[in-house]
């Protein structure tokens, strides 16, 4: 059986318990070596074959998975973060289905969660933003026109941009075509949760310069939005004037109340 496992954002202790257990039990491991922290391979038993998919094509990966299945073992296909985001995982699942090879998925902590932790921020702040757009710039890999940065930026909500740290000039220009201004807060989060983690606070207008100043051009997320300003309304969830299923408030935070 093939187990697709989310490796987490980088820190080897941030893989899930299930993911670590599957690595420990694996008879073969294929990992995304361009992004997965190699320290995670410390979970793998000595003598187990390990393949770095950064040097492989889809066809070569599938050949390894198929050979391992014929041998009757369990294979871990280790993806960075969570496989559901920019993992090129759907095409592998479909090909395994065609070959009659069973598979399952163990989710992982995505790097966008690791980036929020590194920056010490909450993406969804009351009165600021209740939506998060996860996207990327069009580059060698295109994106649908309706999902261009300029189009998505019209919403002005929290935005997390993957795979775009090498295109900061263009990213800044497209963000400014939407609801953001040159002064809108932004941050570059390099290798969140890795030992070399770096968080650089800047603005949409200074994104490119911040990247140059701190030598960040890859393996970084770009965070954009007013959630970075730390100005927000108090949450109603724990407000003494707001009633919930579990407690009764004094009504001051209810519609028509004094809040």
Express each pLDDT in 127-164 by its tens digit: 999 999 999 999 888 999 999 999 999 999 999 999 99
Better pLDDT: 189 or 237 = 189
Is a pLDDT exceeding 80 seen at residue 256? no
Per-residue pLDDT, 207: 98
58/236 Cα distance (integer angstroms)? 49
User: For residue 189, which of 124, 132, 115, 112 has the smallest C-alpha distance?
Assistant: 115
Averaged confidence pLDDT in the chain: 95
User: For residue 160, which of 149, 151, 170 has the smallest C-alpha distance?
Assistant: 149
CB 202 within 8 A of CB 188: yes
Give the tens place of pLDDT for each residue, 70-124: 999 999 999 999 999 999 999 999 999 999 999 999 999 999 999 999 999 999 9
68/238 Cα distance (integer angstroms)? 52
Domains of the chain plus CATH, in order, are 2-109 (3.40.1010.10), 112-229 (3.30.950.10)
Residue % of the chain over a pLDDT of 90: 86
Residue % of the chain over a pLDDT of 70: 98
Q: What's the pTM value of the predicted model, to 2 decimals?
A: 0.92
């Amino acid at each position: 059986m093939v187990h697709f496992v989310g490796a987490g954002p980088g820190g080897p202790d941030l893989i899930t318990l299930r993911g670590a257990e599957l690595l420990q039990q694996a008879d073969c491991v294929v990992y995304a070596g361009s992004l997965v922290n190699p320290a995670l391979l410390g979970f793998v038993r000595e003598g187990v074959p390990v393949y770095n998919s950064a040097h492989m094509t889809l066809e070569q990966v599938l050949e390894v998975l198929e050979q391992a299945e014929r041998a009757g073992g369990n294979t871990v296909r280790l993806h960075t973060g969570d496989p559901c985001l920019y993992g090129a995982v759907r095409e592998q699942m479909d090909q395994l289905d065609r070959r009659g090879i069973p598979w399952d998925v163990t989710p992982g902590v995505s790097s966008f969660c690791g980036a929020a932790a590194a920056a010490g921020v909450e993406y969804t702040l009351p009165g600021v933003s209740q939506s998060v757009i996860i996207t990327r710039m069009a580059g060698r890999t295109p994106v649908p026109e309706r999902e261009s940065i300029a189009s998505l930026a019209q919403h002005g909500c929290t935005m997390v941009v993957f795979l775009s740290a090498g295109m900061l000039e263009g990213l800044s220009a497209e963000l400014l075509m939407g609801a953001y201004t040159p002064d809108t807060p932004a941050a570059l989060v390099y290798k969140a949760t890795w030992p070399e983690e770096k968080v650089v606070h800047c603005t949409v207008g200074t994104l490119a310069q911040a990247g140059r100043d701190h030598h960040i051009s890859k393996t970084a997320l770009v965070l954009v939005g007013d959630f970075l300003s730390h100005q927000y309304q108090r949450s109603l969830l724990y407000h003494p004037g707001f009633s919930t299923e579990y407690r009764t408030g004094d009504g001051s935070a209810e519609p028509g109340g004094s809040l």
